[in-house]
Structure 1
Amino acid sequence: MKKRWVADASLLAVTFVWGATFVVVQNAIAFLEPLSFNAIRFSLAGLFLLGWLVIFHRSLFHHYTLPLIRSGIWMGLWLFGGYALQTVGLLFTTSSKAGFITGLSVVLVPLFSFLFLKQKPSVNAVIGAVMAAAGLYFLMGGDGKWTFNRGDVFVFFGAISFAMHIIATGKYSVHYSPMLLTMTQIFTVAVLCTIIAFLLEDETQIWNAAVLQKREVWTALLITSLLATTAAFLVQTNFQKYTTATRVALIFAMEPVFAALTAYIWAGERLTASAIIGCIGILCGMIFAELPIAFITEKRWRAKRRITH
Structure 2
Amino acid sequence: MSTEGKGSGLATLGLLAVTAIWGSTFVMIKDVVGRMLPIDFLAVRFVIAAVAMLVLFAVPVRRLGRRQAWRGLALGVLYGVAQWLQTEGIALTSPSVSGFVTGMYVVFTPFLALALFRQRFPATTWVASALAVVGLGVLALNGFTVDLGVLLTLASALLYALHIVGLGHWSKPGDAFGMSAIQMLGIAVVCVLATLPHHGPALPPDGKAWVAIVYMALVAGALAMLVQTWAQAHMPATRAAIVMTTEPVFAAGFAVALGVDALTPRMVGGGALVLAAMYMVELAPRLRRKKPAEALHHEAG
Give the TM-score normalised by the residue count of structure 2.
0.75
Where 1:177 maps in the other structure, the secondary structure is: helix
- Structure 1 segments unaligned to the other structure (5+ residues): 300-309
CA–CA distance in structure 2, aligned partners of residues 139 and 9 of structure 1: 23
Corresponding position: 1:93 with 2:84: no
Alignment-derived partner of residue 220 in structure 2: 228
Q: How does 1:74-113 map to 2 (within 5 A)?
A: 74-91=74-91, 92-94=93-95, 98-99=98-99, 101-113=101-113
Where 1:212 maps in the other structure, the secondary structure is: coil
- Structure 2 segments unaligned to the other structure (5+ residues): 1-6, 292-301
| Structure 1 residue 170 displacement after superposition | 1.6
| Structure 1 residue 118 displacement after superposition | 1.9
Alignment-derived partner of residue 304 in structure 1: none
Match of 1:213 among 200, 206, 211: 206
Corresponding position: 1:46 with 2:44: no
Alignment-derived partner of residue 307 in structure 1: none
CA–CA distance in structure 1, aligned partners of residues 68 and 271 of structure 2: 38
Going from structure 1 to structure 2, the CA distance change for 1:98 and 1:264 (only over 3 Å counts) comes to farther
Could you list the per-position Cα deviations for residues 126-184 of structure 1 after superposition, in whole angstroms to 9, with x for gaps in the alignment? 11122233334445658xx6356765554443332222101111222139822222111
Could you list the per-position Cα deviations for residues 75-132 of structure 1 after superposition, in whole angstroms to 9, with x for gaps in the alignment? 01221133223333444433x6655554443453222211222222210111112223
Match of 2:257 among 254, 265, 284: 265
CA–CA distance in structure 1, aligned partners of residues 276 and 49 of structure 2: 33
Going from structure 1 to structure 2, the CA distance change for 1:282 and 1:12 (only over 3 Å counts) comes to closer
Where 1:25 maps in the other structure, the secondary structure is: helix
Residues 22, 99 of structure 1: 8 Å contact kept: no
Match of 2:272 among 280, 294, 298: 280
Match of 2:155 among 154, 157, 163: 157
Alignment-derived partner of residue 114 in structure 1: 114
CA–CA distance in structure 1, aligned partners of residues 27 and 176 of structure 2: 29
Where 2:94 maps in the other structure, the secondary structure is: coil
Identity %: 26
Partner amino acid for 1:93?
S
| Structure 1 residue 221 displacement after superposition | 0.9
Q: How does 1:282-301 map to 2 (within 5 A)?
A: 282-290=274-282, 293=285, 295=287
Partner amino acid for 2:250?
F
| Structure 1 residue 281 displacement after superposition | 2.9
Residues 184, 222 of structure 2: 8 Å contact kept: no
Alignment-derived partner of residue 297 in structure 2: none
Alignment-derived partner of residue 254 in structure 1: 246
Residues 132, 285 of structure 1: 8 Å contact kept: yes
Going from structure 1 to structure 2, the CA distance change for 1:116 and 1:76 (only over 3 Å counts) comes to same
- Provide the alpha-carbon RMSD of the alignment: 3.8
